Amino acid sequence: MSREIDRVTPLHGAGGELMDRLLREHVIGRFAERNTGRIGLSALDDGATVDVPDRGELVVTTDSHVVKPVRFPGGDIGRLAAAGTINDLAVMGARPLALTLGLILEVGFPLGELDEILASFAAVLDEVDVPLICGDTKVMGKGELDRIAINTTGIGVAATTDGRAIGDASFSVGDRVLVTGTIGDHGMALMACREEFRLQTTLESDVAPLWPILEPVVRAGVVVAMKDPTRGGLASALNDMARKSGTCIEIVEDTIPVRPEAQGLSDLLGISPLEVANEGKAILVVRAAAVDRVLTSLRVHPLGANAVCIGEVTGEYPRRVILDTGVGGRRFLEMPLGDPVPRIC
Give the footprint of a second copy on residues 239-258 (CB under 8 A): none
72 binds a second copy (CB under 8 A): no
Residue 112 or 328: the one with the smaller Cβ distance to a second copy is 112
Stretch that binds a second copy, among 135-143, 187-195, 259-267, 286-294 (CB under 8 A): 135-143
What are the b/e assignments for 126-160, b being 16+ CB within 10 Å? ebbebeeeeeeeeeeeeeebebbbbbbbbbbbbbb
Q: Which is nearer to a second copy, 33 or 292 (CB)?
A: 33
Give the contacts of 173 (CB within 8 A, at least 6 positions apart): 247, 313, 314, 315
How far, rounded to the nearest angstrom, does the alpha carbon of residue 339 sit from its chain's CA centroid?
12
Least distance between a second copy and beta carbon 37 (Å):
7
Would you count residue 149 as binding a second copy (CB under 8 A)? yes
Q: Which stretch binds a second copy (CB under 8 A): 130-138, 184-192, 209-217, 243-251?
A: 130-138
| Smallest distance, a second copy to C-beta of residue 91, A | 13
> What gap in Å lies between CA 98 and CA 155, rounded to an integer?
5
Contact 47, 97 (CB under 8 A): no
Task: Provide the pairing of β-strand 225-227 with 321-326.
Answer: unpaired
Q: Is 340 in the site for a second copy (CB under 8 A)?
A: no
Scan residues 278-337 and list those touching a second copy (CB under 8 A): none
Binding track over 83-112 against a second copy, x by CB under 8 A: --------------xx-xxxxxxxxxxxxx
Q: Name residues contacting a second copy, limited to 155-174 (CB under 8 A).
A: 155, 157
Residue 240, amino acid: D
- CA dihedral (245, 247, 252, 256) in degrees, to 10, reads 0
Closest to a second copy by CB, 17 or 106 = 106
Helix (H, G, I), strand (E, B) or coil at 93: coil
The residue count for binding a second copy (CB under 8 A) is 88
Q: Which of 24, 38, 69, 137 touches a second copy by CB under 8 A?
A: 137
Q: Is 134 in the site for a second copy (CB under 8 A)?
A: yes
Residues 28-57 that bind a second copy (CB under 8 A): 30-37, 40-41, 45, 47-50, 52-53, 55-56
- With binding defined as CB under 8 A, does residue 264 bind a second copy? no
Q: If binding is defined by CB under 8 A, does position 7 make contact with a second copy?
A: yes
What is the Cα–Cα distance from 321 to 82, expressed in whole angstroms?
Answer: 31
Question: Edge-to-edge strand order for the sheet containing 48-52?
Answer: 48-52, 56-65, 148-158, 94-106, 132-140
